[in-house]
Amino acid sequence: MKTKQITKGLRNHIVDTTALLTASNPIYSTFETCVAGMSDGVSMNARLIASGISYLGMGFIFVKGRDVSRKAFKINDKTKETIQQTHDIIYTVGMNLIFAPPIYFASGEIDIKKIVIGTGTAMAFSAVTGGPMGYAVDAFRDLTGIKESERVPKLIRKQKPLIKKGLAALLVGTSIAAMAGIYSLTSDRNETSNYEQPTGIEQVMGEPVERMLKEEDYVEHINSKEEGKIENE
């Protein structure tokens, strides 16, 4: 009995987290590369880290927190859609404020300004992501047979389980394809930017190397003057 409960809980967690990432990753990757100015590599690292953290427990915290919040405000799938959307937006703003900065820092971004811009952008665009993320959770629960939701159109709710699971898989594939398209569009710009800017090693070594070259030129100049004096003598 306990094993079944664990298996069921794990399945629900994977479904909920997959729903969150399916709705949010394409939007956040666009913000990071096109608004915050992060490279494709940093953005991909951020998405991978966010996905890993989500599957390791953050997704569970987010969804369970949402469930508790909805219950506290007496919101269910029969509540007006505008109220449900507003709740999910406000809830997502708060979560981004808490968790976005450490995710970007762990992704390799050390520029505080870019982290602030990325976090602020994520919070601002929670107006875009909050609603879809909440809806995705309810929709994926319905499509995978966990819990029927009246938010999902009746035509889809009445489909066979196999068809509904196929639709869920199609949504995941579409999300991944969208991210691939975003990175392909920004790759040339980022490659040019990275080519023009010195690497970390060059920035660290540049000044000492430049100073050393100047010293060598000075030494050669002195030596040439001394050689000239000897020849004149």
For tokens 């040339």, name the residue. 188
How far apart are the two ends of the chain, measured CA to CA in Å?
Answer: 104
**What does the pLDDT look like over 45-103, one tens digit per residue?**
989 988 999 999 989 999 999 999 999 999 999 999 999 999 999 999 888 888 888 88
Q: Phi/psi at 78 (nearest 5 deg)?
A: -95, -10
Judge whether 58 and 214 are in contact, CB under 8 Å.
Answer: no
What does the domain layout of the chain look like in residue ranges?
2-197, 198-233
pLDDT of residue 222: 53
- Report the predicted TM-score, pTM, of the whole model to 2 decimal places: 0.72
Mean pLDDT of 153-177: 95
Mean pLDDT of 193-217: 48
pLDDT of residue 232: 53
Q: Which of 196, 197, 143 is closest to 170 using CA atoms?
A: 143
Average pLDDT, the chain: 83
Judge whether 27 and 113 are in contact, CB under 8 Å.
Answer: no
For tokens 């939701």, name the residue. 149
**What does the pLDDT look like over 102-142, one tens digit per residue?**
888 887 888 888 888 888 877 887 778 899 999 999 999 99
The structure tokens listed for 102 are 């450490």
Across 150-159, 176-185, 224-233, least confident range: 224-233
Calculate Rg over the CA atoms of the chain. Answer: 27
Q: Which of 20, 4, 31 is closest to 67 using CA atoms?
A: 20
